[in-house]
Amino acid sequence: MLRSVILAASRSSRVERLVETAPLTRDVVHRFIAGVTADDALHTTRDLVGSGLAVTLDHLGEDTVTPDQATAIKDEYLAMLAALGGAGLTPAAEVSVKLSALGQKFDEQLAYDLARQICVAASNAGTTVTLDMEDHTTTDSTLEILAKLRLDYPTTGAVLQAYLRRTEADCRELATLGSRVRLCKGAYKEPESVAFQSALDVDKSYVRCMNILMSGEGYPMLATHDPRLIAIGEDRARWFDRSPDAFEFQLLHGVRPDEQLRLSGEGYTVRVYVPYGTDWYGYMMRRLAERPANLLFFARAVKSR
Ligand code: FAD
């Protein structure tokens, strides 16, 4: 119920204006994002890579409405990839891209063209791109664009969301040689017709999808903070004889940092998803919706003012 309310608020421009101007916002936002500038993101990336973690950088922004906005976001990615390459942070750091930020909702061809330019820049910088997955109305389009990009840039990563009923079938399609697939639970408010609604059903689907990916031929990227799913991931790695460099765990910046270091200390590849930029509202609201403790953190910040 609370999750639904917060996710609904994440789509409201009125609530967005209220939250953005609230005095507490800075502290809360800085827990989850690296900062607003590219320099902030590079600084955080350097620290994380220095402590043995891999990174995927997300330039915040989604649902752009003009070609100029979409092109500006593509330019941000190109500049960031050049900076990462120049700083010797590749291939440890890659980038995550939301196609809706590149115009997918009004011009799919434009989104493909811009994503392709980001793949070219990533390849020149010696690293890769992962296409984030957004709400279910975009899944087919995102997987189609992924398939086209992978013809020339086969390491382009996909994201599949365990809460969608279709995802087991998508995992089977994508568990092929050379394919990189991030498996997450899913962060959007989705109707029962397309998505499991109970946490238990989502978790069970996650395990079924994980089994398909870990027993397949691709490179699974297990994105979760859930201790039980992480333990099952470690178990499946042993069961399917996957060495620590044949799959990875992924966690969000600011979430369970001790666990990030513990897993890395065990020898696993651990990639931290690091968002940066000014357009943080939708991202932060999805994080608040995921976990009541994040809301408590939010409330404490209000009280302390
Ligand atoms: P949850 O069900 O949120 O939490 C399960 C358990 O994990 C909790 O009970 C608790 O024990 C532990 N836990 C969770 N958060 C915390 C915390 N802050 N502190 C301590 N313990 C905690 N979603 C998309 O829809 N598209 C994407 O492209 C996408 N990319 C992602 C990339 C990465 C690297 C990650 C980690 C997530 C991504 N997500 C994406 C978000 C994802 O779908 C989930 O919404 C999010 O990860 C929360 O699910 P969870 O698996 O962590 O489990």
Q: How many domains does the chain have?
A: 1
Residue located nearest, by CA, to atom 45 of ligand 1 = 187
Residue 67 has pLDDT above 60, yes or no: yes
Residue located nearest, by CA, to atom 3 of ligand 1 = 290
Q: Does residue 133 line the site of ligand 1, with CB under 6 A?
A: yes
Tell me whether residue 145 is in a domain.
Answer: yes
Which residues participate in catalysis according to the annotation? 132, 182
Q: Which ipTM score applies to this complex? A: 0.98
Q: Does residue 97 line the site of ligand 1, with CB under 6 A?
A: no
Tell me whether residue 110 is in a domain.
Answer: yes
Tell me whether residue 24 is in a domain.
Answer: no
Q: Does residue 55 line the site of ligand 1, with CB under 6 A?
A: no
Tell me whether residue 41 is in a domain.
Answer: yes
Tell me whether residue 153 is in a domain.
Answer: yes
Q: Does residue 285 line the site of ligand 1, with CB under 6 A?
A: no
Å from CA of 67 to ligand 1 middle: 31
Least confident of 124-128, 211-215, 220-224, 294-298: 294-298
Tell me whether residue 5 is in a domain.
Answer: no
**pLDDT per residue as tens digits for the range 176-207:** 999 999 999 999 999 999 999 999 999 999 99
Residue located nearest, by CA, to atom 20 of ligand 1 = 256
Tell me whether residue 4 is in a domain.
Answer: no
CATH code at 245? 3.20.20.220
pLDDT for the residue numbered 111: 98
Residue located nearest, by CA, to atom 15 of ligand 1 = 225
Task: Kindly indicate the confidence band of residue 280, based on its pLDDT and cuts at 50, 70 and 90.
Answer: confident
Å from CA of 225 to ligand 1 middle: 5
Residue numbers of the domain that contains 271? 34-279
Å from CA of 187 to ligand 1 middle: 8
Å from CA of 290 to ligand 1 middle: 7
Q: Does residue 54 line the site of ligand 1, with CB under 6 A?
A: no
Q: DSSP readout, the chain?
A: -HHHHHHHHTT-HHHHHHHHHSTTHHHHHHHHS--SSHHHHHHHHHHHHHTT-EEEEEE------SHHHHHHHHHHHHHHHHHHHHTT-TTTEEEEE-GGGGTTTT-HHHHHHHHHHHHHHHHHTT--EEE---SGGGHHHHHHHHHHHHHH-TT-BEEEETTBTTHHHHHHHH-STT-EEEEE---S---TTTB--SHHHHHHHHHHHHHHHHHSSSEEEEE---HHHHHHHHHHHHHTT--TTSSEEEEETTS-HHHHHHHHHTT-EEEEEEEESS--HHHHHHHHHH-HHHHHHHHHHHHT-
**pLDDT per residue as tens digits for the range 284-304:** 777 777 766 666 655 554 444
